[in-house]
Structure 1
Amino acid sequence: MNALRLGLVDGVSVFRRNLIKIRRVPDILVFATLSPIMFILLFGYIFGSAIDVPGVGYREFLVPGIFVQTVIFGATFTGVSLAEDLQKGMIDRFRTLPMSRSAVVLGRTAADVGINVVTVVIMGLTGLVIGWRIRTSVLEALGGFVLLLAFAYAISWVMASVGLAARTVEVVNNASFMVIFPLTFVANTFVPQNNFPAAVKWVANWNPVSAVTQAGRDLFGNTSPALPTPDVWSLQHPVLYSALWIVAILAVFVPLSIAQYQRAATR
Structure 2
Amino acid sequence: MSEMSLSRGSRLRWAIADGWTITRRDLSHWARQPAQVIVGLLFPVMIVLMFGYLFGGGMVIPGGGDYREFLMPGMFAMTMVFGIETTFTAVSGDVAKGVTDRFRSMPMASSAVVAGRSAADMLNSVLGLAVMIACGLAVGWRWHEGPGPALMAVGLLLLLRFALLWMGIWLGLVIKSPEAVMAVQILVWPLGFLSNTFASPATMPGWLGAIAEWNPMSATVSAARELFGNPGWGGDSWAAQHAPLMAVVWPLLLLAVFFPLSVRRYRHLNR
TM-score between the two structures when normalised by the length of structure 2:
0.92
- 8 A contact 1:71–1:116 mirrored in 2: yes
Q: Where does residue 134 of structure 2 map in the other structure? A: 125
Q: Where does residue 170 of structure 2 map in the other structure? A: 161
Select the structure of larger CA radius of gyration: 2
Structure 1 unaligned blocks of 5 or more: none
1:115-194 matched pairs, under 5 angstroms: 115-171=124-180, 173-194=181-202
Matched, 1:16 2:24: yes
1:104-115 matched pairs, under 5 angstroms: 104-115=113-124
Amino acid corresponding to residue 22 of structure 1 in structure 2: W
Matched, 1:215 2:208: no
Would the alpha carbon gap of residues 239 and 4 (structure 1) be closer, same or farther in structure 2, given more than 3 Å must change? farther
Residue 4 of structure 1: how far off its partner (Å): 4.5
Q: Where does residue 107 of structure 2 map in the other structure? A: 98
1:17-32 matched pairs, under 5 angstroms: 17-32=25-40
Whole-Å separation in 2 of the counterparts to 1:231 and 1:6: 50
Matched, 1:263 2:242: no
Instruction: Choose from 232, 244, 247 the match for 1:239.
Output: 244
Matched, 1:78 2:83: no
Residue 5 of structure 1: how far off its partner (Å): 4.5
Residue 7 of structure 1: how far off its partner (Å): 2.8
Whole-Å separation in 1 of the counterparts to 2:183 and 2:268: 20
Residue 153 of structure 1: how far off its partner (Å): 0.9
Percent identical pairs in the alignment equals 39
Whole-Å separation in 2 of the counterparts to 1:27 and 1:70: 18
| CA deviation string 1:158-188 (max 9, x = no partner) | 01110011111011x1221111111111110
Residue 223 of structure 1: how far off its partner (Å): 2.2
Secondary structure at the aligned position of 2:231 is classed as coil
Whole-Å separation in 1 of the counterparts to 2:185 and 2:169: 14
Whole-Å separation in 2 of the counterparts to 1:174 and 1:230: 33
Whole-Å separation in 2 of the counterparts to 1:238 and 1:142: 17
Q: Where does residue 3 of structure 2 map in the other structure? A: none
- 8 A contact 1:65–1:189 mirrored in 2: yes
- 8 A contact 2:84–2:188 mirrored in 1: no
Q: Structure 1 residue runs of 4+, over 3 Å off?
A: 1-6
Structure 2 unaligned blocks of 5 or more: 1-7
Q: Where does residue 67 of structure 1 map in the other structure? A: 76
Residue 59 of structure 1: how far off its partner (Å): 0.8
Whole-Å separation in 2 of the counterparts to 1:245 and 1:10: 30
Q: Cα RMSD (Å) of the superposition?
A: 1.5
- 8 A contact 1:79–1:159 mirrored in 2: yes
| CA deviation string 1:184-218 (max 9, x = no partner) | 11110112222111111111111111000001101
Residue 127 of structure 1: how far off its partner (Å): 1.1
Q: Say how many residue pairs are matched.
A: 262
TM-score between the two structures when normalised by the length of structure 1:
0.94
| CA deviation string 1:68-96 (max 9, x = no partner) | 11111123211111111112211122022
